[in-house]
Amino acid sequence: MFKRLVLWSGLITLVLLGGLFWFLDHTPPPVEKVGKDVIAVTHMYKDGTQRYVGEVKLPHSCYSIRQEFVRDPMDDTRGTIVITSTDKLLEMRVCSSISTGYAFDVLTDSEKPLTVTLTLDGVEKTISVRDRPWQSARGTTVNDPIGTSPVAIPESKNDGTPKVEN
C-alpha cells in the first residue's frame, strides 16, 4: 500500500513538472509596445525592392491619405515616407469621431539598406522600424528567411537609423 502511494505521488509530481516545463518553454515572448507618439513601420525586402508598411492615426474616419516614398537626391541611402492627409469631413455622409488608423504601403527599389524617416502632413514623426520577411496578401512568407538578404534591421533604435546585418 505504501509503495503504491509513493509510486502515484511520484508519477503525479513528474506529470506536473513536465507540464510546468512545457508551459515555460512554449510561452510566447513579450510583445514590444510602441509608444503613443511612435509610428510602427514594418520593413520587408525582396529582389531589390524595399517595402514599408504601417499605419498612421488620424482624428476621425473621414480622411483620405496619399503616400509616396521620396529618395534623398544627395544620398541614395536615405529616403522619406511622405504621407499627406486630406480631411473629407464635409464631403462624407457618415463619419466616426474616434481616432482611426490609416494603413500605408510604399515601395522603393534599392539593393542597399536605407535610413528612413516619415513625414505626416509635412511634420516629421518618430518611427520604429521592424524588419520582417516579405509577406503575401494571405500572410505567407514569400522570400528567404531574415538575414539572407541585404536588409536594414533598426530594432535597436527608434529614430529609423538602420543597422546592417550581414
pLDDT band at 2, cuts 50/70/90? confident
pLDDT above 80 for 151: no
Return the exposure string of 84-101: e unless at least 16 CB atoms fall within 10 Å of the residue's CB, then b. ebeeeeeeeeebeeeebe
| 12 lies in the same domain as 61 | no
To which H or E segment does residue 91 belong?
none
Same domain, yes or no: 46 and 123: yes
Query: Among 15-29, 33-47, 141-155, which stretch is predicted with the lowest mean pLDDT?
Result: 141-155
**What is the count of structural domains for the chain?**
2
For residue 78, which of 38, 132, 115 has the smallest C-alpha distance?
115
- pLDDT higher at 99 or 142: 99
- The answer to whether position 117 is within a domain reads yes
Residues 46 and 80 in one domain: yes
Provide long-range contacts, Cβ within 8 A and 24+ apart, for 28-36. 34/128, 35/126
Residue 82 sits in the same domain as residue 107: yes
Rounded percentage of the chain residues whose pLDDT exceeds 70: 71
My answer on whether 6 and 55 are in the same domain is: no
Please give the average per-residue pLDDT across 95-118, as a whole number: 89
The domain in which residue 23 lies consists of 1-30
Same domain, yes or no, for 10 and 90?
Answer: no
47's torsion region: left (phi>0), alpha (psi -120 to 50) or beta? left
Cα atoms in the Cβ-side hemisphere of radius 13 Å centred on 98: 1
Please state the rounded mean pLDDT for residues 13-20: 80
Same domain, 6 and 54: no
Instruction: Name the more confident of 144 and 14.
Output: 14
Highest mean pLDDT of the ranges 29-33, 38-42, 81-85, 95-99? 81-85
**pLDDT tens-digit series, residues 36-85:** 788 999 998 888 899 999 999 998 888 999 999 999 999 988 999 999 99
